[in-house]
Amino acid sequence: MGRRILNDALRTIVNAEKRGKASVELKPVSTVMSSFLKIMKEKGYIKNFQVYDPHRVGRITVDLQGRVNDCKALTYRQDLKANEIGQYTERTLPTRQWGYVVITTPDGILDHEEAIKRNVGGQVLGFFH
């Protein structure tokens, strides 16, 4: 169920970007979704996001910037070793210049560049570009 929540939220963001919306509201909330959005904010793909009432069903309001072309969560979490991350990103992302693969690692949820720096592997959550 958690993977479906993340996928639905990311599809909502992409659809709102295509329609030219300034912000979008996501329901329900998960900690994985918050971490994914934090990485998107650090990389400049969204302006800001705010979590309201995370202990109950809750909601997240995301301020969009117009930079997200595609964003997907994988329903199957593929295991990646630290030395396989480069090959996986070349296959998944359209070019080397843009896009990020998000990976769950023992060090937390990281993008592929940070995972390569720290030399840790993990499971692929999704990607955005």
Q: What is the pLDDT of residues 108-126, one digit of tens each?
A: 999 999 999 999 999 999 9
Which tokens hold the place of 65? Answer: 């910037």
- Environment class of 103 (CB within 10 Å of its CB; exposed 0-12, middle 13-18, buried 19+): buried
Q: What is the DSSP string of the chain?
A: -HHHHHHHHHHHHHHHHHHT-SEEEE-S--HHHHHHHHHHHHTTSEEEEEEE-TTSS-EEEEEE-S--S-EEE-SS--EE-GGGHHHHHHHHSS-SSS-EEEEEETTEEEEHHHHHHHT--EEEEEEE-
Q: What is the pLDDT of residue 98?
A: 82
Rounded-to-integer distance, Cα 61 and Cα 59, Å: 7
Quick check: 35 pLDDT over 70? Answer: yes
CB count within 10 Å of CB 61 equals 13
Query: Which residue in 4, 78, 73, 1 sits closest to 37, CA to CA?
Result: 73
User: Domains plus CATH for the chain?
Assistant: 1-64 (3.30.1370.30), 71-128 (3.30.1490.10)
Query: Which residue in 67, 60, 69 sits closest to 36, CA to CA?
Result: 60
Q: What is the pLDDT of residues 44-68, one digit of tens each?
A: 999 999 999 767 778 999 999 989 9
Q: What is the pLDDT of residue 1?
A: 46
